[in-house]
Amino acid sequence: MTASRRRASVDVLLPGRYEWYVKHFTNTRRVSDSTVRRLSLYLRYLEEFQRRGLKTVSSQELAHGTGTTPAQVRKDLSFFGSFGKRGLGYFVPELITKIRAILGLGREWRVLVLGAGRIGTALAGYPDFARQGFRVVALVDNDRSKIGGASGGVPVRDVADLERIVQQELIDIAIVATPAGAAQALVDRAVAAGVRAFLNFAPVKLDVPAEIALRNVNMALELEGLSFAMTSGRVLAV
Amino acid sequence: MTASRRRASVDVLLPGRYEWYVKHFTNTRRVSDSTVRRLSLYLRYLEEFQRRGLKTVSSQELAHGTGTTPAQVRKDLSFFGSFGKRGLGYFVPELITKIRAILGLGREWRVLVLGAGRIGTALAGYPDFARQGFRVVALVDNDRSKIGGASGGVPVRDVADLERIVQQELIDIAIVATPAGAAQALVDRAVAAGVRAFLNFAPVKLDVPAEIALRNVNMALELEGLSFAMTSGRVLAV
DNA sequence: AGGTGTGAATTATTTCACAGCG
DNA sequence: CGCTGTGAAATAATTCACACCT
């Protein structure tokens, strides 16, 4: 209490204290998941904006186009630097470059789809992935009648060769589009072979080591959210 | 300041005050989106649990199976009632019934898919939807070569007949799986025809009236989240 | 003993509001 | 002026911790 707020001599890094320390004395601020999601939305909107030939954009416009508030836009961006010009706004091409760098979109990411069923094949040919630098290199399946074929230009290969494919094709990301029961075992093999990130469409909780990135997309869950909103008379716009 | 905290005589419903009022004096507590999402996860896990013939479950087990904490499970459920038995846990079949009721899954929801492309047709045949009572009744498209056909038992109809289909088939929910540019106009028509909820897969911000429920699934955005996590050395498990 | 239900405390996220710069 | 960048304030969500039941 008597020491200055910025340098108390007996301050020890207790739980809670630690977070505070990180936040105030390092540049390793925790960026929330919601912030990252919004950055993607800003990027999408900026690209559209650029297509229309516009040069600068204000936090106001960006917020309106992505369903958030101007303060939120500025706060989100301020985690990563000062990209705007006061009185003017942000230069569209420059901000696109910055956000792409933040999101790690300056390179090509190599993607393998696990499961060549309806969802897997639909995702393999999804044009938005390629547009942002996610290149789907192959699908794998265990169905003999599918192996050797191709879907939207992407070859279907034998899941038995998973490890070899991951290593030869330098796979970064796997999209899990298998039945729920098969997912965890394949993910374990993929992790062991070197895949560092997973986008999971199977309706199961996947266990992965802490250093592996994982996101879940659960479509039935989204419909249930709509069902809840309609039933309870509330509205959930997310 | 001098009045009791629970009944200050000049308390007016200012912004902020209003929320406090609702929270403390009505039973209309705001349920957060994250709570609703977790209820869906609990339900999924409970169904699996029941399949294995287990009769009771603790908040501990439920949390472990869904990637959250026991306190969170209890808090989520307590928004809606007291479903557990102290010292014992929750009865699995009973809790399933309760959660299904909360989420509004006691009825069949009728679903129309807008767009019979890869994503649309994949979703039309997605077995998890039917399992929770979401019945995909039809797809619509403007491609003559698709109209009249069927995908996974679901007929493809002419988008020109959208209004008639919504009304005749009593559509509750539309899944938007069209190209980005076509989405908003179709959604406007669907709203006018009586659709009350939308699950949007198109990478655009849709504008809908406040009483219409809307959820967005943006798959490129999820991949970008993984890209960020790998680039920044942080991990985002969601 | 074992596990729920829930206020209170903590932590996270959003919004406000305004100094300061172009 | 107009609009950013950002501490401070307000809200929201999560976690703690414990009284209380069975």
Query: Nearest nucleotide to B88 by CA–C1' distance?
Result: C3
According to the model, what pLDDT value does residue A87 have? 96
Average pLDDT, chain A: 89
CATH number of the domain to which A149 belongs: 3.40.50.720
**B201 and B157 inside one domain:** yes
**A88 and A189 inside one domain:** no
**B84 and B143 inside one domain:** no
Q: Which of B77, B103, B129 is the last residue of a domain?
A: B103
> Nearest-CA distance from B56 to chain A in Å?
20
According to the model, what pLDDT value does residue B156 have? 98
**B84 and B126 inside one domain:** no
According to the model, what pLDDT value does residue B116 have? 98
pLDDT by residue (tens digit) across A122-173? Answer: 999 999 999 999 999 999 999 999 999 999 899 999 999 999 999 999 999 9
According to the model, what pLDDT value does residue B28 have? 53
Answer yes or no: is B4 within a domain.
no
Whole-Å CA distances, A141 to A3, A114, A144, A190, B181: 64, 7, 8, 14, 34
Shortest CA distance to B110 belongs to which of B69, B163, B166? B166
Answer yes or no: is A75 within a domain.
yes
**A90 and A116 inside one domain:** no
Residue B126 contacts A, CB cutoff 8 Å? yes
Contact: B220, A36; criterion CB under 8 Å: no
Spanning CA of A54 to C1' of C18, the rounded length in angstroms is 29
Query: Nearest nucleotide to B72 by CA–C1' distance?
Result: D14
Question: What average pLDDT does range A47-63 have in this prediction?
Answer: 96
pLDDT by residue (tens digit) across B70-105? Answer: 999 999 999 999 999 999 999 999 999 999 999 999
- What's this model's pTM, rounded to 2 decimal places? 0.90
Contact: A224, B197; criterion CB under 8 Å: no
Spanning CA of B160 to C1' of C14, the rounded length in angstroms is 43
pLDDT by residue (tens digit) across B23-78? Answer: 555 545 678 999 999 999 999 999 999 999 999 999 999 999 999 999 999 999 99
Which of A31, A223, A228 is closest, CB to CB, to B129?
A223
Spanning CA of A88 to C1' of C20, the rounded length in angstroms is 14
All residues of chain A having their beta carbon less than 8 Å from the beta carbon of residue B103 are 224, 227-228, 231
Number of domains in chain B: 2
According to the model, what pLDDT value does residue B30 have? 77
**A149 and A211 inside one domain:** yes
Which of A195, A204, A215, A234 to substitute to test the interface with B, most B CBs within 10 Å? A215
Question: What average pLDDT does range B122-145 have in this prediction?
Answer: 97
Q: Report the share of chain B in percent with pLDDT over 70.
A: 85
Task: Judge whether residue A108 has pLDDT over 90.
Answer: yes
**A210 and A125 inside one domain:** yes
**A116 and A181 inside one domain:** yes
Question: What average pLDDT does range B95-123 have in this prediction?
Answer: 97
**A199 and A95 inside one domain:** no
Answer yes or no: is A132 within a domain.
yes
Answer yes or no: is B7 within a domain.
no
Task: Judge whether residue A77 has pLDDT over 90.
Answer: yes
Answer yes or no: is A236 within a domain.
no
**B118 and B214 inside one domain:** yes
Comparing A7 with A35, which gets the higher pLDDT?
A: A35
Answer yes or no: is A8 within a domain.
no
Q: Which of B103, B122, B137 is the last residue of a domain?
A: B103
For residue B128, the chain A residue with the least C-alpha distance is A220
**B137 and B73 inside one domain:** no
For residue A228, the chain B residue with the least C-alpha distance is B103
CATH number of the domain to which B53 belongs: 1.10.10.10
All residues of chain B having their beta carbon less than 8 Å from the beta carbon of residue A198 are 226
Average pLDDT, chain B: 89
Contact: B208, A172; criterion CB under 8 Å: no
**A214 and A119 inside one domain:** yes
The token pair at A159 is 């899941």
Partner residues linked to A154 by β-bridges? A151
Q: Which domain holds residue B62?
A: 33-103
Q: Which of A56, A75, A102 is the last residue of a domain?
A: A102
Question: How is A102-162 classified by DSSP, letter by letter?
Answer: HHT-SSPEEEEEE--SHHHHHHHT-HHHHHTTEEEEEEEES-TTTTT-EETTEEEEEGGGH
Answer yes or no: is B237 within a domain.
no
Shortest CA distance to A125 belongs to which of A138, A140, A141? A138
pLDDT by residue (tens digit) across A159-209? Answer: 999 999 999 999 999 999 999 999 999 999 999 999 999 999 999 999 999
Answer yes or no: is A81 within a domain.
yes
Task: Judge whether residue A15 has pLDDT over 70.
Answer: no
Residue B93 contacts A, CB cutoff 8 Å? no
